[in-house]
Amino acid sequence: MMDIDALLAALPARIDAIVRRHAAATPDAPALREAGRTLTYRELEGEIDACAAWLRSLDVQAGERVMLVSENGIAQVGALFAIASLDAWCVNVNARLTAPELEAIRSHCGARVVLYTAAVSPDAAAHAARAGADMRAHGGLMASLHADGGVPEALTAQPVAALVYTTGTTGKPKGVMLSHRNLLFVAAVSSRLRGLAPGDLAYGVLPVSHVYGLTSVLLGTLYAGACLQLVPRFTPHAMLEAIRSGDLTIVQGVPAMYARLLELCAAQGIRAPLASGLRFAYAGGSPLDPQLKREVESLLQVPLHNGYGLTEAAPTVSQTRLDAPRADTSVGHPIPGVEVRVEGPDGQLFVRGPNVMQGYYRDPAGTAAVLDRDGWLDTGDLARQDADGALFIAGRSKELIIRSGFKVYPLEVETVLNAHPAVTQSAVVGRLQADGNEEVVAFVQPAAGSVLTAAALDGWTAARLAPYKRPARIVLMASLPAAPSGKVLKHRLKN
């Protein structure tokens, strides 16, 4: 049984202490791998300190928001911990976002300093060039300075480590404030539930710019003193090669990644079981299809564990246990230290615990709408619990679409579509696919007399939305189904 009080009492003040602890105890143990390069914990600490010195030369202050436009890599990880070591807030965003999406986030968070992992990410390099970033790079990083940056925030009892954005171009970006304690708690519990040990090698392809990759994959792995193999982008070929190498012991991904892996194996005539050194596999970020679960378990010869979380919970709420794998698609029991409550006929899910966010940045009304004075977070999701307390997610009460583990908000896509001069209105819905992934489908009503085409809208969205947010299908309709009030009846479009 995990002693949560003792665990919480032992948590350090900042996330960079994870690295420093192992740098002192096991300095020559491997911490990170990247494209044939291995960094020990001592070397990673040195990278953090060197980056922190560079940031101090840029006059980064405690409470300042520092934006990191990145893809997975050593430079990204070093910068993330360096920012934390200065008590600044890391606003880590995926380099695959478009320039308008990045600017919406930068403007909202008030970042004066923006860093780019230009050496490992062509997209980050392109953003850096557009921003006129300083060519005097540090360790693969470039920086741009912005005169309209906001003032530093005052330190609080639970200082913020990361500001994670859940949306981008709606005009009202939502920044989730996650404290060092939020992240460290989930990292510690997740690490222990997975039985991570210093000899483990985990596959780090989930974006560290998203909370799943940040907390469970990166921080959870390093918390245990294990090693993380950083991969900038997912390809099924690279994942297959990494698994077959026999070096990996831990793999975590979204269901769509496993589906692509199965497709590749089928195409190459690779039959189960797949020889590997894996002892643990985990799926999260989107619903897990029962058939997919069975096929992956047959291929990898280990249970495919499942879990549930959300950005506002840093992110883990529940997961299946290492010693009690499940044959169904339950997301498991709440993790130790976290309480859940299922209310109402639809099963509205509420969560409370050390993982729950500090609130939405610069949005007290939005925070009050989902987080009450007793610390209960309204997840916006629907769930049920079986007799032994295991959770099953029944659906989302909001219109959130999960595409390959990324969150897509329909309003964000609709805002971009409606900005086209030949569009009268649009409605965006998610359609569940056979592999458990969701497809973004846009229904568009063109302006009268226009000659709008789906191809033209494809180009319009490509310039304004990240690839995972773009509609897979655009359907032009003479009129959208609507109630007498004029509200579009989206449920008719989903069928």
The residue among 78, 82, 91 whose CA lies nearest residue 57 is 82
Cα-Cα-Cα-Cα dihedral sign, residues 205, 458, 167, 171: positive
CATH number of 401-494: 3.30.300.30
Residue 167 pLDDT = 54
- Cα separation, 168 vs 174, in Å, equals 8
Core vs surface per residue 329-344: b (16+ CB within 10 A) or e: bbbbbbbebbebeeee
Q: pTM, whole model, 2 decimals?
A: 0.85
What Rg, from alpha-carbon coordinates, does the chain have?
22
The fold for domain 4-180 equals Rossmann fold (3.40.50)
Mean pLDDT by 10 residues, the chain (495 residues): 92 98 98 95 98 96 98 97 98 94 95 96 96 81 95 96 74 85 98 96 95 96 98 94 97 86 89 95 81 91 96 96 91 97 91 98 97 96 91 76 83 85 86 85 88 94 94 92 62 79
Cβ 434 vs Cβ 442: under 8 Å: no
Within 10 angstroms of residue 364's Cβ, the number of other Cβ atoms is 10
Query: Burial, 21: exposed, middle or buried (Cβ in 10 Å; 0-12, 13-18, 19+)?
Result: middle
> What pLDDT is recorded for position 372?
97
pLDDT given at position 479: 85
Give the pLDDT score at 484. 39
Decide if 4-180 and 401-494 have a common fold: no
Q: Two tokens at 456?
A: 């033209």
Residues forming a β-bridge with 6: none
Domain ranges, ordered by start, for the chain: 4-180, 401-494
- pLDDT value of position 399: 73
